[in-house]
Structures are given as C-alpha cells and as structure tokens.
C-alpha cells in the first residue's frame, strides 16, 4: 500500500466501514457428503452460499463448512431439514462461539402473559390461549408473522419455524415455545 | 421533506413511492391502500398524523412487499441507491428492511456523497444493518427498545438473536448499555430508547427520561415503537431539534397510549387515532413551559 493510499483508505468518522462478512453465517455438518448435498440443495434454490474451510474455533468435525446469509437462517434450516440434512451448528462468521439467545423475560399482566426472547415479544390471553399481540423485531417477516398468528390460539397458530424466514422469526419461535411451555 | 422507507408483509406488493395519505384505518400511497396494524404502515400513519397536527406537508414514502425472503428489500435498496441522490429530503427514516450489509454500504455511500445530507433516522431491521455494518455513527437517531439496546451494546452480536446473556442480564442498567454501545461506536448521534421508561441519550449519557403516563400494556402491543419513530421523524422534519423532538415524541406517544385505554390485546391503530390530541397537548405544555 502506498503512503497516499493509506490516507485515502483511512476512514473518516462516520463513513462506511469494512464489515463485509458480518451478515454471514457458517453451517457445520457431520461429514463432507452432507456438505456437498447441502451445497447442491441451496444452490439449486438460489441461495448465495459458498463452501469453505472452518474457522479455528469450530474445527471439531467435518473439514468443510458452508457460508450462508445469516439473517435467513430459519428459511435455510427449514430447507435442509426438509432434505434430511440439518446442520450440526449454524453460527455467525465473525463470532463462531456465539450462541442463540436463551434468556427469556416474562411479564405477567394478570389475564395475559408476555414472553420476550431477544427482540421478540409474544402475548397470550391465559384463559383462552389466544395470541393477542406480537411485537418487537426488525426483519420483514415480523409483520407477516404477526398477521398470521395474532387472533389464533397457541394450538392452531402456525409456528414461526414453519412460516418465518429470518433470525427475528427464529427468536419469535423461541418465545412461542416458551409461552406454550408456560400455558 | 420527510421520506420513510420500509416494507409491508406481502410478496405481491410492488415497489411504490409517493406522498402518503391516510383515509380511515388505511394509508394510501400511489394507487395502493395498506391497512395500518404494525410495522412501516404504523410508522407512516403516525408521521402523517403528526405532520397534519403541525400543519406540515404529508410525508413521502417508499414501500415494497417483503415477508422476510429479502427480495422486496433488495429491490428497495437498489431503488433508493438510484433515486436518493436526486431527492430533496431534509429527513430520511429507514425501517423494516432485510438487514443486508453490502446493500446498506452502497446506500450509505450514496447518502454520504449528497451535498446536503438529510437527517438520518433508523429503526428495526435498518438499525440492525447500520450496526452490523459498523456505520451506526453515520446516523442521527436510532429508536431501539430495551432488547435492541442490548444488541447495540453487544459489540460481537450480528443480530439481536445472538446478544450475549451477560449483556441481556444488564437490561435494568440502561445507562451501562448506552455507554457500552457508544464505547464500541455502535450507536447513532442520539438514541431514543423506548420502553417502560423512555430515554433520550447521547455519547454524554442519558439526557432525559420520560415515564408518565405509565401504561404497562403498551409494551406488549405491536406497533407502539413504530408510532414513536413516526412521531419523532415528523417533528424533526418540522425543524425541531432532535432532543426536543425526541422528548416531545416520547410524551405524545405515551399520552396517545393512555387515551386509548389499552390492554395487552389493543391494536396500534387505536393509539394512532389519539396522536393529534396527545401531540397538541404536549406542544401546548412545551410552549407554556418556555
């Protein structure tokens, strides 16, 4: 790098940074055969993925992993489960040791109970087990999930795992499971 | 002029732009009608009500269908990248878009090169991608709830789904989360943190707190965060400073919620209808206090 290009490349405060892979995830599989099957499935469906070597933190099994768009984890997981090749792990590229949120916040309104998982909140009327509200979240499947779930009972509502696509949908799934466990 | 960009939960809804108006419980944009329940339509409806109350022009909208597959969001990112350089905007609010880092970077590069950069506000998925991209300081205002504030405070989390437990445990220590978000450059110039108590903060720490009227049920309602973002966006666009607009919006949103007499099952349209009355009262009180 030349002296001038050093200054040219140096970012001004508040200018675009260089976190190009922060929205990517890694899928770990049991063996290379599953990696190849999963690659074929996902490429056929048009996903932007690539096969690569694993980062040091997760070198535990297969010597190949698949990089994928992290936000769409739920959608991709459903697709691979449908093919019978669920990954062993799905983790962020930038921090492979991070785990999905496992801390729930519960609020009891008397007639209603609200469960929050990460950024997603699900509220149910206790007596009827009707889902009365879905709030929080930022991915575009959240309003869609709310539209499909609000007004349904816990037993009848589609699960976010079935119809959601993103990590927000996944967080709502965790809240959905927790509220079912409590009701 | 204020512009608002976001999505509606339908794969069939085409990309439309134009002035947004409200008729009954629907917003109208181009030749499309969208019912207001939560998400970007709720934000737009709140901004329309605020602009009407202030006697300001109705906001401009960019809207596309997306149910989480990201196709509509990609289309909108590209459209904004092509069109924003030619738009005369004072304020731009980004909302429910699929977080896609490379598209966000392209869009920010375009905005960075605009001679008179608009005031930038982000909420929901667009706030996530701003943080993920390491570009949060480019924004003037984020409007996170407490769970999203924990995500901003966690420098390692690429999405709220991966916020680490020890940070989520700290949710009662809002000032610590705010400091941590600023320490790692993952916060905008100002933060409006919405929740049981609402906070206005900057790198200097908490500037204002609003906690009344208190309606516990509002936390469960989908869309109450969207309405506060809509109100503050329109107030800023009217010329109000960001701190004054944020505090006014916090008070007006709470008061509108109070007038709706909410239960956890109340839907957000019932609050939106009370925004003009609530906002007028808060503005009158502001004048009286000054």
**B66: Cα within 13 Å, side-chain hemisphere:** 34
Least confident of A54-63, A88-97, B280-289: A54-63
Q: Does the beta-carbon distance from A134 to B222 stay under 8 Å?
A: yes
> For the residues A120-131, what does the mean pLDDT come to?
96
Q: Distance of alpha carbon B175 from its chain centroid, rounded?
A: 21
> For the residues A127-137, what does the mean pLDDT come to?
94
Q: What's residue A22's pLDDT?
A: 84
Q: Distance of alpha carbon B146 from its chain centroid, rounded?
A: 14
Q: What's residue A3's pLDDT?
A: 34
Q: Which pTM value belongs to this model?
A: 0.90
Least confident of A3-17, B93-107, B118-132, B140-154: A3-17
> For the residues A52-77, what does the mean pLDDT come to?
81
Q: What's residue A20's pLDDT?
A: 61
- 3-class secondary-structure state, position B200: strand
Strand order across the beta sheet in which A50-52 lies: A50-52, A65-69, A24-28, A89-92
Q: What's residue A5's pLDDT?
A: 37
> For the residues A71-81, what does the mean pLDDT come to?
92
Q: Does the beta-carbon distance from A17 to B134 stay under 8 Å?
A: yes
Q: What are the tens digits of pLDDT across the range A89-121?
A: 899 988 888 888 888 999 999 999 999 998 899
Q: Within 10 Å of residue A180's Cβ, how many Cβ atoms?
A: 16
Reported confidence tier of residue A13, pLDDT bands at 50, 70, 90: very low
CA distances from A85 to A25, A29, A174, B140, B153 (A): 17, 8, 22, 45, 35
Distance CA B152, CA B180 (A): 8
Mean pLDDT, chain B, whole residue set: 95
Percent of chain B with pLDDT over 70: 99
For chain A, domain boundaries: 20-92, 104-182
Please tell me the distance in Å from A21's CA to the nearest CA on chain B.
Answer: 8
Distance CA A163, CA A142 (A): 11
Q: Which residue of A has its CA nearest to B137?
A: A14
> For the residues A33-54, what does the mean pLDDT come to?
89
Q: Does the beta-carbon distance from B112 to A15 stay under 8 Å?
A: yes
> For the residues B195-222, what does the mean pLDDT come to?
93
pLDDT at B7 over 60: yes
Reported confidence tier of residue A62, pLDDT bands at 50, 70, 90: low
Backbone angles phi, psi at B101, to 5 degrees: -65, -45
Q: Of B144, B195, B196, B267, which is closest to residue A123 (Cα–Cα)?
A: B267
Q: What's residue A55's pLDDT?
A: 78
Backbone angles phi, psi at B99, to 5 degrees: -70, 110
Q: What's residue B290's pLDDT?
A: 79
Q: Does the beta-carbon distance from A98 to B157 stay under 8 Å?
A: yes
CB proximity list for B288: less than 8 A, separation 6 or greater: none
Out of A20, A71, A94, closest to residue B102 by CB = A20
CATH architecture of residue range(s) A20-92:
2-Layer Sandwich (3.30)
pLDDT at A131 over 80: yes
Percent of chain A with pLDDT over 90: 61
How long a stretch of residues is chain B?
290
ipTM: 0.91
The CATH number given to B2-289 is: 3.40.1190.20
> For the residues B230-236, what does the mean pLDDT come to?
98
> For the residues B22-46, what does the mean pLDDT come to?
95
Contacts of A99 in chain B (CB under 8 A): 162
Q: Does the beta-carbon distance from A118 to B147 stay under 8 Å?
A: yes
Reported confidence tier of residue A38, pLDDT bands at 50, 70, 90: very high
Reported confidence tier of residue B4, pLDDT bands at 50, 70, 90: very high
Top CATH class, A104-182: alpha beta
> For the residues B152-178, what does the mean pLDDT come to?
88
Q: Which residues, numbered 166 to 185 in chain B, qualify as contacts with chain A under a Cβ-Cβ cut-off of 8 Å?
A: 168-169, 171
pLDDT at A14 over 90: no
Q: What's residue A7's pLDDT?
A: 33
> For the residues A9-37, what does the mean pLDDT come to?
68
Q: What's residue B167's pLDDT?
A: 85
């Amino acid at each position: 790098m030349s002296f001038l290009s050093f200054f040219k490349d140096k970012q001004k405060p508040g200018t675009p940074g260089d976190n190009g892979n922060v929205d990517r995830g890694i899928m770990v599989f049991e063996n290379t055969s599953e990696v190849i099957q999963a690659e074929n499935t996902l490429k056929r469906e048009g996903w932007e993925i690539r096969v690569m070597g694993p980062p040091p933190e997760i070198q535990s099994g297969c010597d190949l992993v698949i990089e994928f768009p992290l936000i769409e984890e739920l959608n991709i997981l459903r697709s691979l489960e449908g093919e019978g090749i669920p990954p062993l792990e799905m983790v962020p590229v930038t921090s492979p040791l991070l785990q999905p949120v496992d801390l729930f916040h519960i609020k009891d309104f008397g007639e209603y109970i609200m469960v929050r998982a990460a950024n997603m909140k699900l509220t149910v009327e206790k007596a009827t087990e009707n889902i009365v509200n879905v709030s929080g979240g930022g991915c575009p499947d959240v309003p869609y999930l709310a539209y499909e779930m609000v007004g349904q009972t816990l037993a009848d509502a589609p699960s976010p795992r079935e119809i959601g696509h993103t990590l927000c949908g996944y967080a709502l799934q965790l809240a959905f499971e927790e509220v079912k466990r409590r009701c | 002029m204020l512009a608002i960009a976001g999505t509606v939960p339908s794969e069939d809804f085409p990309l439309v732009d134009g002035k947004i108006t409200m008729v009954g419980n629907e917003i109208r944009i181009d030749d499309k009608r969208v019912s207001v329940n939560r998400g970007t339509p709720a934000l737009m409806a709140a901004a329309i009500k605020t602009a009407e109350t202030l006697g300001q022009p109705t906001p401009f909208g960019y809207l596309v269908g997306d149910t989480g597959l990201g196709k509509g969001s990609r289309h909108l990112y590209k459209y904004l990248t092509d069109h924003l350089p030619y738009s005369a905007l004072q304020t731009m609010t980004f909302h429910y878009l699929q977080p896609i880092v490379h598209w966000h970077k392209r869009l920010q590069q375009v905005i960075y090169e605009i001679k008179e950069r608009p005031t930038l506000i982000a909420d929901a998925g667009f706030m996530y991608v701003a943080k993920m991209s390491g570009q949060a300081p480019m924004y003037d205002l984020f409007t996170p709830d407490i769970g999203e504030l924990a995500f901003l405070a966690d420098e390692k989390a690429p999405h709220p789904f991966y916020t680490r437990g020890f940070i989520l445990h700290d949710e009662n220590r809002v000032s610590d989360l705010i400091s941590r978000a600023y320490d790692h450059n993952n916060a905008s110039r100002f933060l409006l943190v919405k929740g049981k108590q609402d906070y206005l903060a900057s790198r200097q720490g908490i500037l204002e707190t609003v906690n009344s009227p208190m309606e516990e049920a509002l936390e469960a309602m989908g869309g109450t965060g969207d309405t506060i973002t809509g109100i503050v966006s329109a107030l800023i666009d009217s010329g109000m400073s960001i701190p004054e607009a944020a505090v006014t919006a916090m008070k007006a949103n709470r008061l509108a919620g109070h007038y709706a007499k909410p239960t956890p099952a109340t839907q957000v349209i019932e609050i939106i209808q009370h925004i003009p009355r609530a906002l007028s009262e808060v503005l009158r009180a502001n004048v009286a206090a000054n």
